[in-house]
Amino acid sequence: MPIRAVLFDFDGLVLDTESTDFQSWQEVFAAHGCELRMDAWADSIGRPHGYFDPCDYLEQLSGSRIDREPLRIRRHARLMELNLRQPLQPGVLAYLMDAQRAGLKIGLASSSDRAWVHGHLERLGVLEYFATTKCFEDTGTHKPDPGPYLAVLEALEIYPGEAVAFEDSPNGITAAKAAGIFCVAVPNPITRQLRLEHADYRLESFATLPLPLLISQLNRTVM
């Protein structure tokens, strides 16, 4: 079945908000004389906010109560500062432009809220490339549940076998695969350290292989 659509995750894939999120919390932990290790953080990647509470974990490590609200406000301000410095991930714009030129449908499936996703897409000047974006408000589900991807497939009026999904995290890959979609892992500096073997294909970066060559290769060999 030929590929008719390309589907993107957002956090960590289009924009590397995962490295900045981890960095901002690492700075908080360091200020309290503690270390936030990757093995404690990893399972929260690609999951909804609140799945892992860094404040609870910080209190466990430090053995003392912390004043949470001021800490969260400062941490959030630091995160926004870091995110506003972030450009699109390498090769993302070229993939969007090539997909548009090829007449492929372009969708986005995210567990994050719409204001977050659309705000960054507008800031980066790429929102118009997406025929549909499905965020938490649209499905009420989070990855690894396939709900966000199933909603995108329905909106684009395509079958799972006609799409390729690009994901950076284990939970995102699980969601795409559960929806029946061929999944290409494109990790960021954080998720590169995680287990992504259940993806169907892997690129170290969008910049390593142009979209037309990838689509041609997948159509010829595995799709």
CA 204/CA 219 separation, integer angstroms: 20
pLDDT at 98 (0 to 100): 98
Task: Indicate if the pLDDT at residue 223 is higher than 60.
Answer: no
Superfamily of domain 5-16+87-221: HAD superfamily/HAD-like (3.40.50.1000)
* Residues above pLDDT 90, as percent of the chain: 82
11 is an active site residue: yes
Contacts of residue 118, Cβ cutoff 8 Å, sequence gap at least 6: 127, 133, 135
Instruction: Take residue 132 and report the two structure tokens written for it.
Output: 């549909």
**pLDDT confidence band for 220 (50 / 70 / 90):** confident
Quote the CA–CA distance of 136 and 51 in Å, as a whole number.
15
Mean pLDDT across the stretch 72-77? 96
Nearest 5°: the CA angle 130, 134, 135 is 125
**Whether residue 53 lies in the annotated active site:** no
Question: What amino acid occupies position 158?
Answer: I
132-134 and 163-167: which strand pairing?
unpaired
The yes-or-no verdict on residue 75 having pLDDT over 80 is: yes
Compare 50 and 81 and report the one with higher pLDDT. Answer: 81
Q: What is the pTM of this model?
A: 0.88
pLDDT at residue 104 above 60?
A: yes
Residue with the bigger pLDDT between 131 and 38: it is: 131
Structure tokens at 194: 């995680």
Max Cα–Cα distance, the chain, nearest Å: 59
Residue at 161: amino acid letter: G
SS3 167: strand
List 9, 21, 145, 168, catalytic entry: 9
pLDDT exceeds 70 at position 2: yes
Q: Residue 49: is its pLDDT beyond 70?
A: no
Convert the pLDDT of each residue in 166-213 to its tens digit: 999 999 999 999 999 999 999 998 898 888 999 999 999 999 999 999
Catalytic one of 11, 21, 98, 145: 11
Q: Where are the domains of the chain?
A: 5-16+87-221, 17-84
Provide the pLDDT for residue 41: 85
The helix/strand/coil state of 93 is helix
CA atoms within a 13 Å half-sphere pointing along the CA-CB vector of 189: 11
**pLDDT tens profile 133-154:** 999 999 988 899 999 999 999 9
- Is the per-residue pLDDT at 163 higher than 90? yes
With cut-offs at 50, 70 and 90, classify the pLDDT of residue 47: low
